[in-house]
A = this chain, B = another copy of it.
Amino acid sequence: MAGTIKDIAKHTGLSLGTISKFINGGRVREANRDKIERAIKELDFHVNEIARGLKTSKSKTIGIIIPSMENFFCTSLISRVEKHLSKHGYSGIICDYQEDPQMEKEKLVFLINKMVDGIIIVPSGDTQKEIQQVLDRGIPVVTVDRILPDIACDSVVVDNFKISGEAVEYFVGQDHRRIAIICGPRNISTAEERLNGYLAVHEKFRLTVDPDLIQFGDYYMQSGYELCRRLLDLPEPPTAIFATNYDITLGVISALNERNIRIPEQLSLIGFDNLNLSKVIKPALSLVVQPMDQLADATTKLMLERLEGTLQGIPQLVKFEAELVIKDSVISPLHK
């Protein structure tokens, strides 16, 4: 049912101006806000349909929120998203929240006040309530790389469970039994799925899961470095490491270099993202490569379709396959 702003005015007794202000992301008094939200629910309206009726609400600007400007995956991704957006006449406002959910909340409010038409976000996972509030205002949100389990919004991801399984199974096929995984933060869906892929392969081949071989870090190089050192210091170190993000991969390589541990003769490694890395590292690194262009393209497409109203209703989950690119960083430990 497509409602109009007038219906809400009638129902609440508030002025059209106040309701318009609310829908456009402006500040209204708490009491009025409650009234409007209640009216929208009671009338079973979809705010975005109402918002679409308000020509003034179009800023042709999309807010883009990422955890860090120093995260290679994120900057590559949004560089591509921005190119697509600008082809369609939209400007991007990019914000990073420095891996801090509190700052992420502030950036959401900031962008709403800047009257963005929509928000594309790589979320921390700790701001589901606030993202729901954005959606409740009729502002479309697309999450990329990560899914928010409690929220009904569009998402674009790769099949992390599957590709992680492929990488770990490749190790198993090369006779590795002590396979370590360095995961991202536990609250991020992507990190969890990569771990689940690892566990599923262990179950499939009835391999013992050694909790010492499962490390959780953040997505920084320093974290990959420290956790790799911890793995190397185990009484029985792994014969293979799966580094599940680009910066973690760099950290692992730097730790191995520091100890003069040769890849793959002394330790096998599969890294993540950035195919270019395999061209500058020797030996050429085997990597999980994500389809950056497809991710960016799908993200932009979903956002534009929501804004133009050609896509309505049920949130879409678009999932792409990542690719395991085998180079020279894995050999069988039996060939040592």
Which A residues are closer than 8 A to B by beta carbons? 61, 68-70, 75-76, 78-79, 82-83, 86, 91-96, 98, 103, 106-107, 110, 114, 221, 250, 253-254, 257-258, 276, 279-282, 284
In the complex, the answer to whether A82 meets B69 with C-beta atoms within 8 Å is yes
In the complex, the answer to whether A91 meets B68 with C-beta atoms within 8 Å is no
CB-CB < 8 A to A70: which residues of B? 75-76, 79
Closest 5 CB pairs of A and B: A69-B79, A254-B279, A94-B94, A253-B280, A69-B75
Chain A at the B interface: SS class: helix
Bound complex: CA A282 to CA B281 (Å): 8
Bound complex: CA A137 to CA B69 (Å): 30
Bound complex: CA A279 to CA B221 (Å): 11
In the complex, the answer to whether B94 meets A95 with C-beta atoms within 8 Å is yes
In the complex, the answer to whether B280 meets A282 with C-beta atoms within 8 Å is no
Report how many copies the assembly holds: 2
Bound complex: CA A209 to CA B79 (Å): 38
Bound complex: CA A86 to CA B96 (Å): 11
Q: Which of A76, A91, A95 counts the most chain B CB atoms within 10 A?
A: A91
Which residue of B is nearest A222, CB measured?
B276
CB-CB < 8 A to A91: which residues of B? 95, 106-107, 110
21 contacts between A and B (CB under 8 A): A69-B76, A69-B78, A69-B82, A70-B75, A70-B76, A75-B75, A86-B98, A91-B106, A91-B107, A91-B110, A92-B95, A93-B94, A93-B95, A93-B114, A94-B95, A221-B276, A250-B280, A253-B280, A254-B280, A257-B282, A281-B281
CB-CB < 8 A to A86: which residues of B? 98, 103
CB-CB < 8 A to A254: which residues of B? 276, 279-280
